[in-house]
Amino acid sequence: METIKNYVESHKARFLEELFELIRIPSISAIKEHSDDMRKAAELLKDSLIKAGADQAEVKSTSGWPVVYGYKMIDESLPTVLVYGHYDVQPVEPLDLWDSPPFEPEVRDGKIFARGADDDKGQLFMHLKAFELMNRTGTLACNVKFMIEGEEEIGSPNLKEFCRQHKEMLKADIILISDTTMIAQDIPSITVGLRGLSYLEVEMTGPNRDLHSGLYGGAVGNPANLLAKMIASLTDENNHITIPGFYDDVVEVSGNERAEMAKAPFRLEDYKKALDITEVTGEKGYSTNERTGIRPSLDVNGIWSGYTGEGAKTVLPSKAHAKISMRLVPNQESKKIDALFIDHFMKNAPEGTKVKVKSLHGGQGYVTPINFPAYRAASNAIEQSFGKKPIPVRSGGSIPIVSDFEEVLGIKSILMGFGLDSDAIHSPNENYPLFNFYKGIETIPLFYRFFASEMK
């Protein structure tokens, strides 16, 4: 532990500067114009792996953005850890709500502010630096592989195929991922459940052109009004989702388990205060943590139609659009939910409109067992570095690829995340505390050590 602490302490400034270099590349996977940036970020990571001590590293192309792969094999008889992370980030809109430019990282109040500061550049980079540390200090206890993709934020459309094509290359005993949160800096936790995702886009067309709302208003179906009606009808007064068949595969969590979950520290007043809302809103009969942990949900992620500029334009729009996503619990099939959603929208398209629905991305939910070596190793590592045993929690987020890993590679994942809910990932002013960044680098080598003993 002393060796680790000393190494981190004496390289702190360089670690941060190297992370900033990565963050400065605006590698937004959703926007095609960032093609050069995607390539640049991948190359930087490849070079970082080599410098940190990898035997080999390369940028491997896929049908989409490339995957960075690297490894260090020290002993065939030792267990192998496959580190997964992603170098792509979310778009940055709305830009005017950022207090500093999203791709010019800066430290304020002990936190790194930038897009990707946490998700996932900051968390991923801890693994690169922990890997460097273990190599430099001769403490590497496992073989290591890195698979760093560039399409996580757009649903990893090519990673499953990549895994299929490289099953042998990716052989490992555990997949180690830091892309989730812990409850607080003094309340460490490990994510043992993730929700799945179905993300779709709807286009409703009314008249074949924008019309004058005076000359036509009242006589022609307005797709903005009608799409609002369809969205409104997707949930009932109890915030149950009304799509027929939606809950068919949802398994009710037992009363015992719910009671266990309710022990996690949570103060509704603090939660509401942090978000500046007077009331929480969600499915009747469930607590806030249950609503994100064990229940599915439906959100409009974006909606747009008609005139959205300054002032008043009296237009009856031709088209209305919405991006709508559903978070799914582990037993729900993302593709089946897509189909139910599309079917529902097509069947209920208002008279006089045309509706198109396309699936943008999706993935299965996942539950991690807490009685297996990797969980114990992570729990011990965190307990040693944070001084407290971590709480297993179910997160509302999705890492769709985790269930694919199990399906294609037959390898389980451990979600040892060091982010905080307050990191504002996907939002303006995304940030990552320096404390968590450095603590993560200290914790990871402990995981390798405990995992090696567990697997002996």
Query: In the range 152-181, which residues lie near a second copy by CB under 8 A?
Result: 153-155, 181
Determine, following the binding rule CB under 8 A, whether residue 305 of this chain makes contact with a second copy.
yes
Determine, following the binding rule CB under 8 A, whether residue 63 of this chain makes contact with a second copy.
no
Q: How far is the CB of 380 from a second copy (least distance, A)?
A: 26
Determine, following the binding rule CB under 8 A, whether residue 238 of this chain makes contact with a second copy.
no
Return the number of the residue (400 or 445) whose C-beta is nearest a second copy: 400
- Which residues fall within 8 angstroms of residue 450, CB to CB, at 6 or more apart? 376, 377, 378, 380, 381
If binding means CB under 8 A, how many residues of this protein chain bind a second copy? Answer: 105
Q: How far is the CB of 195 from a second copy (least distance, A)?
A: 6
Please count the other Cβ atoms lying within 10 Å of the Cβ belonging to residue 9. 10
**Options 3, 11, 21, 30; binder of a second copy; rule CB under 8 A:** 30
Determine, following the binding rule CB under 8 A, whether residue 356 of this chain makes contact with a second copy.
no
Binding mask 256-275 for a second copy (x = CB under 8 A): -------------------x
Return the number of the residue (17 or 99) whose C-beta is nearest a second copy: 99
Using the contact rule CB under 8 A, the part of the chain among 29-37, 102-110, 130-138, 379-387 near a second copy is 29-37
Q: How far is the CB of 205 from a second copy (least distance, A)?
A: 9
**Options 96, 238, 254, 312; binder of a second copy; rule CB under 8 A:** 312
178 vs 46, 113, 118, CA distance in Å?
19, 18, 10
Please count the other Cβ atoms lying within 10 Å of the Cβ belonging to residue 171. 14
Structure tokens at 381: 């590592």
* Window 377 to 436, contacts with a second copy (CB under 8 A): 395-398, 421, 424-429
Determine, following the binding rule CB under 8 A, whether residue 137 of this chain makes contact with a second copy.
no
- Which residues fall within 8 angstroms of residue 423, CB to CB, at 6 or more apart? 117, 118, 119, 181, 430, 431, 432, 433
Position of tokens 């099953």? Answer: 167
Q: How far is the CB of 249 from a second copy (least distance, A)?
A: 17
* Window 202 to 221, contacts with a second copy (CB under 8 A): 206-221
- Which residues fall within 8 angstroms of residue 286, CB to CB, at 6 or more apart? 294, 295
**Displacement of CA 29 from its chain's centroid (Å):** 13
Q: How far is the CB of 2 from a second copy (least distance, A)?
A: 36
